[in-house]
Amino acid sequence: MRILLILLFVAPVIYSTAVGVGSGDGQKKNCKRAKAFALGTRSANGIDAVDFEDRILRKPVQKVYFWPSLTDFEKKVLRDAFVQIGRRTCVKFEEQEYKPWYHADRWDANSPHVLIRKSGKFAAYSDAVVEGLVDRTILYVAQSSFETSNFNNSRGMVMDQLVRFMGLQRELYRPDAVSYVQAISGGIPNLGTPDYNPIQLTWPFDPESITVPLWAREKFRLTPYCPARNDADIGAGQRVGLLTKWDTVKLNSMYCPDKVVDADPSRGPCVVPRSKDLDSFKKRLWAYKRLLAKNTKRRKAKAKVVKKHKTV
């Protein structure tokens, strides 16, 4: 009788457990794929790295193959982006005639190469050592970069992805960026702070950098600590599809320091105005000095109160 009661009690439990495990198999269709990280947002590119698995190795001259699915217009934008970057820096992208994966040139151990494709979902890159022999990178350029109505802006978006592939991180996420730009109500999603090459951070913050997206003008405002530029200047480099002076300095500092000339880190774009903006700069500078004096006075008063309490 006892055995019968035990069986009656245990059977439903075994059955319900089996159903539970079985239902898990039915839920596999809801499993999500691993997300692809955006281009150049997490790890810094090591210029002089030796261990490929540890840090990514970049050379100033990159041999590039276009994926056959790219249209003539998309190739034109990419080529124009190569020209603009190569004009002012020692970073060069050399287009090669496309060859299939089994061609001997694609298996030359002394000739690492980049294969450029487009993606409708993200901008990213994937580094690999094929068969332990050839360093190959697949660079996915966001398809949206080719869909803007303005050619210069399209080129700027592509240039942004190319320079970030080469190790230049977005200026907006610099540790000191909060001193110069503030997000408007709502702001943007917190993507975390990327790992910056220390060389980039030795040079001043640049609100006009090619790495600052055009939409940033709608999401950010300059603070009083950047009186030499207007809010409309945010993302100007990407809007016109050109490297700024400081983009050039930072890239050359990483890859060919001997080419860096006439660059004083104490005279950045937030400090030195353009001649046409001199009058408005003087007004903003006066407001900045008043703010600085007010903060200094408040700080001294607070320190005096604290000292008085300690004495008592």
pLDDT tens digits for range 109-119: 778 889 999 99
Average pLDDT on 13-39 reads: 38
Average pLDDT on 114-127 reads: 89
Residue type, 6: I
Average pLDDT on 141-170 reads: 94
Class at the top of the CATH hierarchy for domain 45-259: alpha beta
Structure tokens at 64: 């590039």
pTM of the full structure: 0.73
Which among 44-58, 72-86, 120-134, 215-229 has the top mean pLDDT? 72-86
Binned at pLDDT 50, 70 and 90, residue 290 comes out as confident
Which residues lie below 8 Å from residue 210, measured CB to CB, with a gap of 6+?
156, 159, 160, 163, 237, 238, 242, 243, 244, 247
Binned at pLDDT 50, 70 and 90, residue 277 comes out as low
Q: What is the DSSP string of 51-66?
A: -TTTSEE--SEEEEEE
Q: What percent of the chain has pLDDT over 90?
A: 47
Please, are residues 173 and 150 in contact by the beta-carbon 8 Å criterion?
no
Which residue's structure tokens are 């002012």? Answer: 88
Structure tokens at 89: 């820096």
pLDDT the model gives residue 55? 45
Residue type, 194: P
Tell me the Ramachandran region of residue 69: left when phi exceeds 0, alpha when psi lies from -120 to 50, beta otherwise: alpha
